[in-house]
Amino acid sequence: MEKNRYTVSVYSENNVGLLNRISGIFLKRHINIESLNVSKSEIENVSKFTVVIFTDHETARKIVGQIEKQIEVIKAYFHLDDETIYQESVLFKIDSSLLFDERNIQNIIKDCNATIVTVSRDFFVLAKTGRKFEVDEMYDQLKPFGIMQFVRSGRIAVTKAEMPISVLLAEFKENK
Amino acid sequence: MNTNTIKENKTPKKKLETMKISGAEAIIHCLLAEGVDLIYGYPGGAIMPVYDELYKFQDKLTHILTRHEQGATHAAQGYARVSGKVGVAMATSGPGATNLVTGLADAQIDSTPMVCITGQVGSHLLGSDAFQETDIVGISTPVTKWNYQITKASEIPEILAKAFYIAKSGRPGPVLIDITKDAQFDTFDFTYEKCTGVRSYKPVPKPNKNAISEAAKLINEAKKPMIVFGQGVILGEAESELKQLVEKAGIPAAWTILGVAAMDSEHPLNVGMVGMHGNYAPNVLTNECDLLIAIGMRFDDRVTGNLETYAKQAKVIHFEIDPAEINKNVMSDIAVLGNSKETLQLILPLINENNHDEWHNEFKKRYEIEYNEVIKNDIKPTKEGLTMGEVIEEINIASKNSAVIVTDVGQHQMIACRYAKFNQTKSNITSGGLGTMGFALPAAIGAKQGAMDREVVAIIGDGGYQMTIQELGVIFQHKIPVKIVVLNNDHLGMVRQWQELFFERRYASTVMVNPDFVKIAEGYHIEAKRLSERKDLKATIQEMMASKEPYFLEVKVEKEDNVFPMIPTGASVSDIRLK
């Protein structure tokens, strides 16, 4: 079956242990999680997990079914890249001397639409938000100069289609 | 403003001080409020405050000390499976808790409602590798429907109420609640309110009218329909609705091993067991029917064999409570989500009266083939050695098909499921999904205590018996009148069978040199007999069944018998082998 990158979005209660329960579902099926982000969502007291996996449609569908079955999960969805708007954020820590010695670095910062977060005597920090390939491109350009530290966030994504969680929560309430 | 709020909250608390109880006592009150009067468990350091309360409440709540925590879980499962109530098991932290894991996994895969309570080290010690500390919440996560760690006494009522609600509602399952020792000691104002819902949890999907009417249309139009029912019928208490559907539409109905007791074994339209060691007719005809109606079953690989060739010619209707089961293993044309009782009640008025005699004859014809090739030799053997099948047949006769049969895992299990007859629901207690050797003896204890008015017969192999044999101590101590039948072939029979058939008879570690089982039972002061000759079979079984006491019977059966029919792994259901 054809494999694709899927963004799994999980709306849940904010409880200790739920991350373990959800990640276990991927583990049980030997699926590697490419990126994971947990944050609050648009609804008060509802958390949102954004998990990126590379798998086939059937596996993604079944995983989402198993996730949704967990008691504290309100709803889970899975989407292809073109069904979502997604971004990642990265930070680069770079030796400050390079900022002055290597002219090119300033061009990279401008071309990549990166921002300088802080500059100190020893190092400066660049931030960039974008798609993975854009971030990768910037990484490749900076690498030859030496990167002291690099970190990338998990993917965050919103979907083009609606995710009617509030409606669902109201339904749950009615079922009570 | 914050300060004010705190002050306001403090005032009423002081007024209620006289009603303060410890977390440990609160746990007992929660159990009593949930209607629990029997729990299985094993004490230890981190759960001692609760045991201290159990001592005080022993007139209201019976605690059975199993000889191993695994036994506590299986006993709780046996109790839950015959009674339909939530089974409760309790253990201390660390090894006590980890010993529950097999039972949790078993209850999870077989959808058995169970609440396990574990003690945990004090919350200030969490993560310090304290004595008997283990992360049981982390360990048990994949094998529980829900779990939670309580670190504050005040959480106890709400969390335990939620635990019972979650364990029992929708598709049942095990819940583990881990309670730190300080939360057991601390006092708080206790009030209890039963849980009636959890915001993010929808246990029973609402049936879809369109799906019901489309399913009815397919059933009414089918020429060669076949029903396969599973435990979902029993859990949904839809036995009568299943019978009405089968009879009204005249559809041959086959069962999974967890579903068997949902329909009388003698019902003319009961066509037997599907799956690896199931009956010939329903397996072969799965691949000839034009409509497969799955009710409360989950298309386990032991049922379907090779999925690529499973019922490909048929339309599939799947009645199921758990949306995650739909299209998981077998794609269905129509999914009817909901509680089986509700959905079957909705569909019954839409079903036309019908019969499929010609199609039913196809089952009968194949039953004849299987009878002559396999069944006859199993239950009415002419060769010298005793067979497992004839023992089961005698138990059927002696119990008039009314016993609860508890089985372990392996050859004896398959033979028992094939030949045991049932005329009551909730009667076949076995470890289906997980295949847990050692399940039967403790599960039989729970089954008997869950249905004291019924005869409970545990059928166990010599291998599995020795995995939880220590629970004889419980049977002895509490005089639990279960009948224990060990079908002893001095082998791990099922593995030996596979070695014979698929590993060129390399019998690696499957020969058992067994102790004197009769003496062991006698050591526990349990009446015990050994049987090795056919001429004594009937009388001994009758004696056993007539006994009002616990009774142990070892039957020396043929050492190298195989269970047939058999669908070899990876083969199609229709390629089932008769020999």
CATH for B249: 3.40.50.1220
- A81 and A109 belong to one structural domain: no
**Predicted pLDDT of residue B401:** 98
Q: Do B141 and A21 touch (CB under 8 A)?
A: yes
Domain harbouring A123, CATH code: 3.30.70.1150
Which of B181, B224, B426, B483 is an active site residue?
A: B181
* CB-nearest partner of A24 from B141, B198, B323: B141
Q: Is B515 on the interface with A (CB under 8 A)?
A: no
* CB-nearest partner of A71 from B137, B196, B201: B201
- A67 and A98 belong to one structural domain: no
Long-range contacts (CB closer than 8 Å, 24 or more residues apart) made by B31-35:
B31/B61, B31/B88, B31/B160, B32/B57, B32/B60, B32/B61, B33/B161, B33/B192, B33/B194, B34/B86, B34/B160, B34/B161, B34/B164, B34/B194, B35/B85
Q: Do A69 and B199 touch (CB under 8 A)?
A: no
Residues of chain A with pLDDT under 50: 176
The pTM of this model reads 0.95
pLDDT means per 10 residues, chain B with 579 residues, are: 40 51 98 98 98 98 98 98 98 98 98 98 97 98 98 98 98 98 97 94 96 98 98 98 98 98 98 98 98 98 97 98 98 98 98 98 98 97 96 98 98 98 98 98 98 98 98 98 98 97 97 98 98 97 98 97 95 96
Average pLDDT, chain A: 93
- B231 and B290 belong to one structural domain: yes
* CB-nearest partner of B200 from A12, A24, A27: A12
Q: Answer with the one of A85, A111, A126 that is the final residue of a domain.
A: A85
Which of B53, B69, B390, B394 is an active site residue?
A: B69
Q: Do A175 and B197 touch (CB under 8 A)?
A: yes
**Predicted pLDDT of residue B13:** 43
ipTM (interface predicted TM) = 0.92
Question: A43-84 pLDDT, tens per residue?
Answer: 888 999 999 999 999 999 999 999 999 999 999 999 999 999
Beta bridge partners of B62: B38
Domain harbouring B453, CATH code: 3.40.50.970
**Predicted pLDDT of residue B139:** 98
- B330 and B410 belong to one structural domain: no
Q: How many domains does chain B have?
A: 3
Q: Is A62 on the interface with B (CB under 8 A)?
A: yes
Q: Is residue A176 part of a domain?
A: no
Q: Is B198 on the interface with A (CB under 8 A)?
A: yes
- B165 and B243 belong to one structural domain: no
- A58 and A128 belong to one structural domain: no
For residue A19, the chain B residues in CB contact (below 8 A) are none
- A9 and A25 belong to one structural domain: yes
- Rounded-to-5 percentages of helix, strand, coil across chain A: 40, 40, 20
For residue A74, the chain B residues in CB contact (below 8 A) are 199-200
- A62 and A104 belong to one structural domain: no
- B286 and B250 belong to one structural domain: yes
**Predicted pLDDT of residue A175:** 56
- A66 and A112 belong to one structural domain: no
Determine how many CB atoms are found less than 10 A away from the CB of residue A147: 15
CA distance A61 to B521: 52
Q: Is B69 a catalytic residue?
A: yes
Q: Is A20 on the interface with B (CB under 8 A)?
A: yes
